């Protein structure tokens, strides 16, 4: 009992000291504004909030576009305007481009471009990724990506009730195909797919902004063992996928793929190449699927936008062939529709966390080293001045000049984040999105499903879970457009 009381007393004294130090530091330095906190704990707990991006959007009306959260050990800065993201992530990119270290990730013993620390190894990987995935390198993938969109269309019409599974499988195939030249995946149960999906799940669970597992906490032994076993499983999956291309290359049967280009370039060791290749899957499979899922939701909820895009394709491309990626420049409404999907459904509402590498000062506020910085993409996409009535899906908004004479910002400029860590797969994602969406619009009408009484069922727009930005699951009707029956015919698609 005596020991317990002494323990409490020590804790109380330490708490009081920490609070006094923290308060005097906060007073001495002018930190950016944020919601009021509570003694000792600060205000960071307010970020542990379901739908935290909506909370941030709400409080940015009072606290402005640079909002500060803290507790005695961590501080977090959320940027909610394009301007603050430009000022810090782009113009001061040399100190705002690191990632918060994750002890979980270290325990897993796996690597990934997205979680790699800002430094020479990350720079080399970014350079290689860009070299093989930049706009100029993409045309070599046009034929395979287009073929895959057509295959997806055929499967979708054969199996319309499972449209979500078909879309997910399609994005998986495209990424595995382009990265590893694996095009024979026919089911989500394929071992290569489940292994790659597990790897993504493990990584995502380490990316939560404030999650750290101190390895010295003995009661976390089970969790640590589980994490180590994930690492082992993931390492062998990544090596197996990589070796598949190596074997093909050695036997002279390899076709064009991201890994083949890396092997031919030989700019780094094979271990790094294998991890870099896995970044394609981690970064690409789920993200493209979420945007396509959001596209279907938007088409079901906003049939007028769908009709306008279909008419544009009919007018420009005609009814005797499917649109190709080269048609893109002549399809401005479809282009706007894709911009609007990306804006309307922010798949990374608070981006991916960055770490500030040294103390900084911005607009007279002090921002301490190690602050975790979150790009508030959601808030930029809902900026009422730039996008009036932001919850409504309206592709034509991108052609409307505002009272101050400006067109709205293209959401590609911030939805993939900004600065040195900006998504390196953006052009690739955009190519796959255009290819799939244009082929769907040309041939298919997506509409609300009907209940037993033939009443339309309106799907919700609330994400499937507060922490993940998947649109909700819903049923919809998938019908071939009368003028396009010929285009969905198997012979046209093969
Ligand atoms: C519409 C689809 C996509 C969206 C909206 C998206 C968005 C993002 C965002 C917000 C980030 C974080 C950037 C930051 O830290 O500031 C990111 C990083 C990344 N993305 Fe994407 N992404 C998409 C598709 C893809 C695709 C298709 C690939 C690969 C083929 C990819 C690969 C990556 C990688 C490797 C990173 C980490 C970059 C780094 O940390 O240096 N992404 N993406």
CATH code for the domain of 260: 1.10.630.10
- For residue 205, tell me if it sits in a domain: yes
Counting ligand 1 atoms within 8 A of each CB, the residue from 416, 422, 437 with the most, and so the one to mutate, is 416
Distance 423 CA to ligand 1 centre (A): 4
Counting ligand 1 atoms within 8 A of each CB, the residue from 342, 423, 470 with the most, and so the one to mutate, is 423
Tokens of 353: 């966390």
Distance 87 CA to ligand 1 centre (A): 20
Distance 416 CA to ligand 1 centre (A): 6
Q: Which residue has the tokens 């953006």?
A: 426
- For residue 16, tell me if it sits in a domain: no
Edge-to-edge order in the sheet of strand 75-79 = 66-70, 75-79, 372-375, 354-355
Show the ligand 1 pocket: residues with CB < 6 angstroms.
Answer: 113-114, 126, 279-280, 283-284, 287-288, 291, 347-348, 351-352, 375, 415-417, 421-425, 428-429
Q: Tell whether residue 379 is among the known ligand binding residues.
A: no
Q: Is the pTM above the cut of 0.85?
A: yes
Class of residue 17 by CB neighbours under 10 A (exposed 0-12, middle 13-18, buried 19+): exposed
- For residue 65, tell me if it sits in a domain: no
Q: Name which residue sits closest to atom 26 of ligand 1, judged by CA.
A: 284
Which phi-psi region, left, alpha or beta, contains residue 282 (left: φ > 0; alpha: ψ -120 to 50)? Answer: alpha
Q: Name which residue sits closest to atom 37 of ligand 1, judged by CA.
A: 114
Distance 54 CA to ligand 1 centre (A): 22
Hey, how many other C-beta atoms are within 10 angstroms of the C-beta on 259?
27
Q: Residue 125's pLDDT is what?
A: 96
Q: Which residue has the tokens 């906490």?
A: 217
- For residue 422, tell me if it sits in a domain: yes
Q: Name which residue sits closest to atom 18 of ligand 1, judged by CA.
A: 423
Is the dihedral angle over the CA atoms 255, 258, 260, 261 positive or is it negative?
positive
Q: Residue 229's pLDDT is what?
A: 77
In angstroms, the CA 128 to CA 344 distance is 32
Counting ligand 1 atoms within 8 A of each CB, the residue from 425, 433, 436, 469 with the most, and so the one to mutate, is 425
Distance 28 CA to ligand 1 centre (A): 38
Q: Name which residue sits closest to atom 9 of ligand 1, judged by CA.
A: 416
Class of residue 51 by CB neighbours under 10 A (exposed 0-12, middle 13-18, buried 19+): middle
E strands, 396-443, where?
A: none
Tell me the average confidence (pLDDT) per consecutive run of 10 residues in the chain, 494 residues long.
57 62 66 93 87 92 96 95 98 96 70 89 96 93 93 91 92 94 89 86 64 42 69 86 95 94 93 94 91 98 98 95 96 98 94 95 97 96 95 97 91 97 96 97 96 95 79 94 79 56
Q: Residue 403's pLDDT is what?
A: 85
Number of domains in the chain: 1
Q: Name which residue sits closest to atom 43 of ligand 1, judged by CA.
A: 423
Q: Residue 208's pLDDT is what?
A: 53
Tell which atom from ligand 1 comes closest to the C-alpha of 346.
Answer: 5
Helix, strand, or coil here: 98? strand
At 420, phi and psi to the nearest 5?
-70, -20
Helix, strand, or coil here: 192? helix
Q: Residue 267's pLDDT is what?
A: 87
- For residue 83, tell me if it sits in a domain: no
Distance 42 CA to ligand 1 centre (A): 32
Counting ligand 1 atoms within 8 A of each CB, the residue from 102, 287, 375 with the most, and so the one to mutate, is 287
Tokens of 307: 């009709």
- For residue 149, tell me if it sits in a domain: yes
- For residue 56, tell me if it sits in a domain: no
Helix, strand, or coil here: 404? coil
Residue 259 lies in domain: 111-348+382-493
Q: Residue 215's pLDDT is what?
A: 39
- For residue 42, tell me if it sits in a domain: no
Helix, strand, or coil here: 103? helix
Q: Which of 440, 433, 446 is nearest to 335 (CA)?
A: 433
Tell which atom from ligand 1 comes closest to the C-alpha of 354.
Answer: 15
């Amino acid at each position: 009992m005596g020991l317990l009381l002494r323990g409490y007393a020590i804790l109380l004294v330490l708490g009081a000291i920490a609070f006094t130090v923290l308060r005097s530091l906060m007073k001495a330095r002018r930190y950016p504004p944020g919601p009021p906190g509570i003694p000792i704990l600060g205000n960071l707990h307010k970020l542990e909030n379901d739908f935290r991006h909506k909370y941030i959007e709400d409080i940015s009306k009072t606290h402005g576009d640079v909002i500060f959260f803290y507790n005695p050990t961590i501080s977090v800065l959320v940027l909610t305007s394009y301007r603050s993201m430009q000022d810090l992530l782009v113009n001061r990119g040399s100190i705002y481009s690191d990632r918060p270290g994750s002890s979980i990730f270290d325990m897993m013993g796996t690597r990934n471009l997205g979680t790699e620390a800002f430094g020479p190894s990350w720079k080399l990987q970014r350079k290689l990724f860009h070299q093989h995935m930049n706009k100029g390198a993409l045309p070599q993938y046009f034929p395979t990506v287009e073929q895959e969109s057509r295959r997806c269309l055929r499967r979708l019409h054969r199996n319309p009730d499972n449209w979500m599974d078909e879309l997910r499988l399609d994005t998986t195939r495209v990424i595995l195909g382009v990265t590893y030249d694996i095009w024979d995946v026919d089911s989500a149960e394929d071992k290569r797919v489940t292994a790659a999906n597990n790897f993504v799940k493990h990584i995502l669970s380490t990316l939560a902004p404030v999650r750290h597992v101190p390895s010295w906490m003995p009661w976390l032994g089970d969790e640590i063992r589980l994490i180590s076993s994930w690492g082992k499983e993931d390492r062998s999956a990544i090596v197996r996928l990589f070796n598949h291309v190596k074997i093909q290359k050695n036997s002279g049967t390899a076709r064009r793929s991201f890994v083949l280009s890396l092997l031919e370039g030989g700019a780094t060791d094979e271990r790094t190449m294998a991890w870099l290749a896995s970044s394609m899957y981690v970064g690409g499979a789920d993200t493209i699927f979420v945007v396509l899922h959001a596209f279907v939701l938007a088409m079901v909820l906003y049939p007028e936008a769908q009709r306008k895009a279909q008419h544009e394709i009919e007018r420009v491309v005609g009814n005797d062939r499917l649109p190709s990626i080269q048609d893109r420049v002549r399809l401005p409404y479809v282009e706007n529709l894709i911009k609007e999907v990306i804006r309307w459904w922010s798949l990374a509402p608070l981006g991916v966390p960055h770490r500030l590498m040294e103390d900084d000062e911005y607009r007279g506020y002090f921002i301490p080293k190690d602050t975790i910085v979150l790009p508030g993409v959601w808030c930029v996409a809902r900026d009422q001045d730039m996008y009036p009535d932001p919850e409504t899906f309206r592709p034509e908004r991108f052609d409307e000049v505002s009272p101050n004479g400006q067109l709205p910002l293209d959401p590609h400029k911030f939805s993939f984040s900004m600065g040195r860590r900006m998504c390196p797969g953006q052009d690739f994602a955009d190519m796959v999105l255009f290819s799939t969406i244009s082929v769907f619009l040309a041939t298919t009408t997506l509409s609300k499903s009907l209940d037993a009484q033939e009443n339309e069922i309106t799907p919700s727009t609330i994400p499937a879970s507060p922490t993940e930005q998947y649109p909700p699951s819903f049923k919809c009707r998938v019908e071939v457009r009368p003028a396009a029956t010929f285009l969905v015919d198997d012979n046209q698609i093969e």
